[in-house]
Structure 1
Amino acid sequence: MKFIAPLCAAMMLGVGAAQAQVDLTTYADANGDLDVQKLTCAQLAGTFQEDADFMTVWYSGWYNGLAGYSKLKLDRAKELEHRVIVYCKANPDKKVITAMDINIKQMRKELGIKVNDEK
């Protein structure tokens, strides 16, 4: 019996700490538009996984388009997504666009990739 009470308390704390996932459209305006420059890491983390995946791919494409880089390397895209998620978990108050910028530039630097916006 003396082990049951602490176990129940621990389980209740875990349930309280769990956050419900919301649809990405929760953060859209009245017209259904999502301002990608205002989306925070906490908001991204609070969406369903497929929405978070979609957004990180979208951001990656946007950055690559700005740089005039029209290729997608799947392993790099997945690595970037992982890095952004790790960054966002550590920095929930930051904007996703900031997380993408930091991590894309870091990966490009590590891999020796030069693109039009960084030359």
Structure 2
Amino acid sequence: MKKIVMGLAFGLGLAPTAGSAQVMIQMDRISCGDMVAMAPADQAMVSAWMSGWYNQKLGYNWVDLAAFRRNEANIMKYCADHPKDQLMGVIQAAVNQMQKKQ
């Protein structure tokens, strides 16, 4: 898993300088432990990407920054206690729980 984190960090570091380079990250392989171990800037990037992904799937076309920060904090807190869980699975479970409450 450290290879994935290092690859993600390396890819994000090259992104601004290599306009034609392509980096492929398998988001479904990022564990909670990987997410917690990332640098804050990388955590922010992954959080924003995942938020956009799930919000698009739900049909939302707006950004609620307060909800984003609250959701990010909740996911990070959960991930700190469950480092072996897969990040996308954790987020999907949170989305499912949110939809049941509506």
TM value normalised by structure 1: 0.63
Q: Match of 1:93, SS?
A: coil
Compare the two structures and name the one with the higher helix fraction.
2
Give structure 1 stretches of 5+ with no counterpart.
Answer: 1-21, 113-119
Q: Choose between structure 1 and 2 for higher RCO, CA contacts under 8 A separated by at least 6 residues.
A: 2
Counterpart of 2:95 in structure 1 is 104
Identify which of 12, 35, 58 aligns with 1:44: 35
**Is the 1:24–1:47 Cα contact (8 Å) retained in structure 2?**
no
Q: Aligned equivalents of 1:108 and 1:78: distance in 2?
A: 18
Counterpart of 1:25 in structure 2 is 8
**Is the 2:9–2:42 Cα contact (8 Å) retained in structure 1?**
no
Encode CA deviations 1:40-82: one digit per residue, 9 max, x unaligned.
1111111101111211111111011112111111100000000
Q: How many residues in Structure 1 have an aligned counterpart in Structure 2?
A: 88
Counterpart of 2:26 in structure 1 is 35
Counterparts in 2 of 1:39 and 1:27: CA distance versus 1, 3 Å: farther
Report the CA distance between 1:86 and its aligned residue.
0.8
| Percentage of pairs with the same residue | 22
Counterparts in 2 of 1:42 and 1:59: CA distance versus 1, 3 Å: same
TM value normalised by structure 2: 0.73
User: Computing the radius of gyration over CA atoms, which structure comes out larger, 1 or 2?
Assistant: 1
Give structure 2 stretches of 5+ with no counterpart.
Answer: 12-21
